[in-house]
Structure 1
Amino acid sequence: MSNSQPSLILVLNCGSSSIKFALFDAQVRPLPREPLWHGKVQGIAGPAPEYSDSGTAQQRIHLDHEHPHTAALALIQARIVARLDGRRIVAIAHRVVHGGSRYFEPTVVTDGSIAELRALIPLAPLHQPFPLKAMSLLFEQWPGIVQVACFDTAFHRTAPKVEQILPLPYSAWERGLRRYGFHGLSYDYMNHVLPERHGDLARGRTIVAHLGSGASLCAMQNLQSIATTMGFSALDGLMMGTRTGSLDPGALLYLMEIEKLSLEEVGRTLYNQSGLLGVSGISAEPRVVVKHESDSGEVGERARIALALYVRRIVREIGALIAVIGGLDLLVFTAGVGEHNAFVRERVCRDLAFIGIKLDADANAIDAPVISTTDSRVLAAVEPTNEEWITARYTQDLIGGA
């Protein structure tokens, strides 16, 4: 960097209910995996939002009820400015869920690109609007700082056309309707860290399970995406916290034609009222639902069937991806549920015992990096994701000597 002042990259991951942020030293190469400082505001749209960072315990905060995301961003900006201490932010990097058929590489944000990305909001309504809103606000408030967009859909561009095309009239493909895949920044991080952890094994037949409030699987060979479970939108594939995952489109026609649900009501059902929350009636969090498995009556029954369906969908899709890549050498669990829920990992691996996975119960209980036994035919692993670092790394490469 040419400027003598210490330079920082600010990474923002803006979602519907949270904003995560991290600051990285832009002048250090290779970029350290750990940020200089990081934190988040969560529960933004709820009754009790909270703020925490790497130097502050979780604390309740007040946000403007009419403009909570704007207020949350302003709070983060104020906390960051208070810590700059002579350093300057040279770039703001955003995780953007959907890049459509045009945006794959990390891109310097302009008013024009924001407008084009806004057209993709219907494909990811829980995620797409919020980084775009932050970009617009920051253009006004910090106009001299470069902003960069990094796309979750980009990693899957290596998948063959047979994995991207939808079984619709071919004109749909020509109009850009295709299976894009998501969670790409998380999978891209695995592309870097898994060879460090597992050597050449990671270059073989690998499936990464990104299990969080949103969830997907990615089958990789030679560290490239071959197939993934999310498709045209972030609704596809696995059952999630509040989202359906794959669903017979005839069920949607029935909801609209027979039950007379409006398009808005159907969208709300698919995105916000289904998945673990919808089936269990308890929570979108597996760790909460599992506490009710032993309950009597309808509560316990719904908890048991919700978790059974959640695991079944993961196992079924892993089986399908194994068929695509011709076997399995390495199974990796990541993201909030994948990294911290031993019981989900245990149940998935139990149902995959037929392919030779043997789980080490003690290692699994402590979220160890390797949770399979030494004689397991498939290595099962836990690897924390780091979407913020991969976003900052691409931004550092893009801005060069700025």
Structure 2
Amino acid sequence: QAAFQIPETEMILGGETYLLHAEPIKSKDKSDQEISGSVLIFQKPARLGRALSAIDTRQATKDFGAILGETEIMKHIKRKAQRLSKVDASLLILGETGTGKELFARACHETSNRNKNPFLALNCAALPENLAESELFGYAPGAFTSAAKGGKPGLLELADTGTVFLDEIGELSPYLQAKLLRFLQDGSFRRVGGTKELKVDVRTISATNRNLEKMISASDFREDLFYRLNVLSITLPPLRNRTEDIPLLAKHFINRAARQIGCQPPNISSELFDLLNSHPWPGNIRQMENLLFRAVSLCENGSLSPQDLELQSHDLELQERERSDSPTAFHSSSKSEIPRIGSSYKDALEDFEKRLFTELYPLYPSSRKLAQALKVSHTTVADKLRKYGIKHPQ
């Protein structure tokens, strides 16, 4: 029992490949060493790769030297970011999904005068409006039914004298845009449900893959907030505009994946390098990193070839997402059956809801976009996703 262990094992469920890991369940009583059960954890290789890479990245990103890129465009951007990191003003990082915006944000913090103080991040698209407000600004005692007895500080308080990174800033609701604008004007705010005015010294770094100027024209983003966020800015290039960096990045990701998995780095065939260099990479560096992690985790012969990358099926999935710009895609793609006689109305409705959100969520970049397409509130969509345990594949 003391040696209870199941090594990482490859499993296939429903035609999908997963890595299986088991953790024992033991009694809290230290004198009782009996194992009462176990928790089985199934992870897709790509998602596991992102989690491990995030830990590895946080440990490694101490300056811009940790950001790989030897092309002239990347050297120029790193030099510019290095200079801007010393300026204590709001910074806006622009770029497509997967280009490394958070990596640059962390490096800007680590090379700034605030580097001894906290760096805290919030994904503005990951939470419904009320939870995002509580996370950012905190809440006072008794602010709502389930509020902690003593209230809770938000990221702005916790990051005092440090940096707050607001990822996907373009997904903020109009209400939160107005509240953030007030904070950026004088550094003061109130907790949710509170009356006390609080003031903190925080540098704001924000990022988005959206065109904020077009959003301003469409009245989807506040122009005054844009100018507050865009005091300083850098734009990161897509991977297709820096193809000379692909061999360097590929070797780095393969070696890191092998280190995380605990295996020898596989050899890379010349055909694979040709494929990596010629591919458009719509998901940019993140897409390449995830696919290489998956390929390394499933490699059996010590060598990687184009077939190991499964690019064709992955690209077809991305293209399908791009083509699907309305919820009607569910009706054409879903092959679900009508519930059998005997199902209660409640069970049938929940079954339909679960299948609806499971099939539609991957087609949209965020839960907020899905809510707009379904013409319901973001809170409704976020609650349903949480209820059915549905996670975004990216």
Give the TM-score, by structure 1 length.
Answer: 0.30
Which structure carries more strand by proportion? Answer: 1
Which structure has the larger Rg? 2
The structure in which a higher percent of residues are helix is: 2
